[in-house]
Amino acid sequence: MTPQETIRNIDKGNFSPCYLLSGEEPFLIQGLLRHFREKVVDPAASDFNLDQFRGEAVRPEEVVLIAQTFPLSSPRRLIIIQDADRIKDDMGCFSAYLNHPSETTVLVFSAAKPDMRKKLFVGLKKKATVVNCARLREREIPAWIIQEGRKKRLRFSEEALWYIKERLGNNLFLIQQEIEKIFLTVTGEDQDKEIMISGKTVLAIIGSGKSHSIFELTRAVSDRNCGKALRLLADLLAEGEHPLFILTMLTRQWRMMAAAKEMVDSGASVSTVRGKIRLPPSLLSPFLQQLKKWRSDEIQWAFQLSLAADSQLKGGPLSPSFVLEAIVLDLCRTTQAAYPKEGYAPQFQAFF
């Protein structure tokens, strides 16, 4: 069962006696646990009917005894066991309970990586409602952003969605926080009406405009505009942008360019290229123009250089600013006439 289906059932008052929340997305698990606390137990009686445990400290016989106790001043009680994968041998206590669970208790286990070979999880798989809380895949993030925006009557343009996803990745906690920031910034007297959020608005609000510099930097390097690229890099580092994030965005640029170059060279249409690299329309045309300035072997070289820089940032002797400045110089100074002639030695590679 999905988290969304579980929430809909809970809102309707349809509770299972036992649940297993399984998966490595803490945002989804914590959201479900919060929903259980709000909907299962009467807040006025939560002191008597809400019990929470951590797996390593659980005494199974105690939990079962509580589960079999009738709730006080509430139609049901709630028991939550987090980190259930750390529960030591329960001597069959939970297995026996799962065969005859209390009708007035909702027992919730959560575990990021449960070992489904263990007796406890074998029983939960058979008897409990299992909710999949896996991390969202990259292609699922835009739909999730749209869903969260609708809750606040925000509608994001395609460009805005792309900027949010690229800047924040798949960190759902951070994305929700930034959506809240956007909501508080743009809402006013017309907050009951749906508000359209443009890419420009997102860039102005998220990270005080640092995202704009990131994308400008990748464009400047792709255009081989060395002076502009170095100025943008200096601004980003001065603003506190993490060097690894800067390099990640550059590396991603070469990955996109490699995929697009292969398709363009094979005669693919613009719509096919766009579907593969997933750029918003306003960014696709400049990207394709930049692509004309690079040969396939140059793109591969740039990608390998970025991987080498990654190793330096994560444990090399050089300072992060020096590593990034050197790779920008190498990438911008390389021309189709100069590369890849025999004997050409990029400035950055000389330090390995």
pLDDT reading at 346 higher than 50: no
User: Taking the model in full, what pTM does it have?
Assistant: 0.64
pLDDT in tens, 25-56: 999 999 999 999 999 988 888 888 999 998 88
Single out the residue of 177, 162, 115 nearest to residue 277, CA to CA. 162
Percent of the chain with pLDDT over 90: 21
Q: Does residue 204 sit within a domain? A: no
pLDDT in tens, 7-18: 999 998 899 999
- Do 174 and 215 lie in a common domain? no
CA-CA-CA-CA torsion sign (149, 154, 157, 163)? negative
Residues 81, 231: Cα–Cα separation, whole Å: 52
The encoded tokens of residue 322 equal 């020096």
Percent of the chain with pLDDT over 70: 90
pLDDT, position 350:
41
pLDDT, position 132:
93
As a whole number, mean pLDDT of residues 264-289 equals: 78
- Do 106 and 224 lie in a common domain? no
Largest CA distance in the chain: 83
Q: Does residue 203 sit within a domain? A: no
pLDDT, position 210:
53
- Do 220 and 294 lie in a common domain? yes
pLDDT, position 188:
62
- Do 220 and 276 lie in a common domain? yes
Q: Does residue 182 sit within a domain? A: yes
Do residues 175 and 148 lie in contact, with contact meaning Cβ atoms separated by under 8 Å?
A: yes
Residue 115, Cβ neighbours under 10 Å: how many? 10
pLDDT, position 209:
47
pLDDT reading at 339 higher than 60: no
As a whole number, mean pLDDT of residues 255-270 equals: 86
pLDDT, position 36:
93
pLDDT, position 345:
40
Beta strands, E only, the chain:
18-22, 50-54, 77-82, 105-111, 129-132, 154-156, 195-197
As a whole number, mean pLDDT of residues 323-342 equals: 67
Count Cβ atoms within 10 A of the Cβ of residue 147 and give its class: 0-12 exposed, 13-18 middle, 19 or more buried: exposed
- Do 249 and 281 lie in a common domain? yes
pLDDT, position 19:
95
Instruction: Tell me which of 114, 132, 150 is where a domain ends.
Output: 132
pLDDT, position 52:
93
pLDDT reading at 257 higher than 60: yes
Q: For residue 340, say if its preceding peptide bond is cis, omega within 30 degrees of 0.
A: yes
Q: Does residue 202 sit within a domain? A: no
The residue range of the domain holding 173 is 138-197
pLDDT in tens, 183-241: 888 876 556 778 898 887 887 787 554 555 677 888 888 888 888 889 888 988 887 78
pLDDT reading at 133 higher than 80: yes
- Do 188 and 276 lie in a common domain? no
As a whole number, mean pLDDT of residues 149-177 equals: 86
Tell me which of 278 and 188 has the higher pLDDT. 278
The domain total for the chain is: 3
**Dihedral in degrees, nearest 10, Cα atoms 198, 201, 202, 207:** 170
As a whole number, mean pLDDT of residues 254-281 equals: 82
- Do 183 and 247 lie in a common domain? no
Any idea what the Cα angle at residue 147 is, between residues 142 and 149, rounded to 5°? Answer: 95
pLDDT, position 211:
53
The encoded tokens of residue 159 equal 């460009």
Tell me which of 101 and 308 has the higher pLDDT. 101
- Do 163 and 121 lie in a common domain? no
- Do 111 and 7 lie in a common domain? yes
Residues 92, 208: Cα–Cα separation, whole Å: 55
